[in-house]
Amino acid sequence: FQPRRLAGKRVLVTAGPTYEAIDPVRGITNLSSGKMGFAIARAAREAGAEVTLVAGPVALPTPRGVTRIDVRSAREMLAATEPAAAQADVFIATAAVADWRPATAADQKIKKDGTGQAPQLAFTENPDILATVAASQRAVSGRLFCVGFAAESHDLAAHARAKRERKRVPLLVGNIGPATFGADDNALLLVDAQGEREIPRGPKLALARALVAEVAKRL
């Protein structure tokens, strides 16, 4: 039984990887499964929220009652997220957004030219969706509560604290390793202005429900 802690609230979640085109048939992406973000969307809905889920390319079913917007690139994710954030009470950024994209995407498939030379790719930085939303008037004035995620290979607590300050979010959630891409289990480290606490290892849906309860307490 989930108490309806978020009844009347609008929750926005980003999830999954982004895909950045090189040409019409190729691109770069990462191994995010989207499972944590989808579990959070489901848990927020169970808690009574109106939930919008902006999803990169993933193979997951939409949680019942959740409005899903499918996107591919970081820029598409930002374009879908910003207007939804303007209406939301909570923004939870779980997406593994590509830090860089190819500076130009070829409009035709790049062909081998027979010389044995590989094409040179130049990259450009993608927008930081969480930092952009967290800097918006709605977030700065406290009407939109923003939550960031961090996946680190080492010194999780220190990196999570630093990331919380850098992104200017009240709550930063660290994925406690080992790397959990695609896994159904994880453990979370919650870092806020008061300090740190752990949500012990368990299925992502259980973690998501615990995180939703923590967020509800802070609204």
| Amino acid at position 110, single letter | I
Give the 3-state secondary structure of residue 48: coil
- For 5-20, b/e burial (b = at least 16 CB within 10 A) is bbeebbbbbbbbbbbb
Q: What span, in angstroms and rounded, lies between the C-alpha atoms of 151 and 138?
A: 26
Please pick, among 30, 126, 175, 186, the residue that the annotation labels catalytic. 30
Q: Is 24 annotated as a binding residue?
A: no
Residue 30 designated active-site:
yes
Q: Is 109 annotated as a binding residue?
A: yes
Q: CA dist 136 to 77, 80, 139, 167, Å?
A: 16, 15, 5, 12
In this complex, which beta carbon is closest to ligand C5P, that of residue 110 or of residue 183?
183
Distance in Å, CB of 183 to ligand C5P, minimum: 18
Distance in Å, CB of 205 to ligand C5P, minimum: 19
- For 99-127, b/e burial (b = at least 16 CB within 10 A) is eebbeeeeeeeeeeeeeeeeeeeeeeebb
In this complex, which beta carbon is closest to ligand C5P, that of residue 4 or of residue 87?
87
Q: Is 23 annotated as a binding residue?
A: no
Instruction: Return the structure tokens found at 90.
Output: 């909570």
Counted residue by residue, the chain has a size of 219
In this complex, which beta carbon is closest to ligand C5P, that of residue 31 or of residue 118?
31
Q: Is 128 annotated as a binding residue?
A: yes
Q: Is 121 annotated as a binding residue?
A: no
Distance in Å, CB of 128 to ligand C5P, minimum: 4
Q: What span, in angstroms and rounded, lies between the C-alpha atoms of 124 and 158?
A: 28
Distance in Å, CB of 26 to ligand C5P, minimum: 21
Q: What span, in angstroms and rounded, lies between the C-alpha atoms of 91 and 110?
A: 38
In this complex, which beta carbon is closest to ligand C5P, that of residue 34 or of residue 63?
34
**Binding-site ranges for ligand C5P (CB under 6 A):** 14, 74, 93-95, 97, 126, 128-130, 148-150, 163
Catalytic residues: 30
Binding residues for CTP: 99, 109, 127-130, 149, 163, 167
Q: Give binding residues as ranges.
A: 99, 109, 127-130, 149, 163, 167
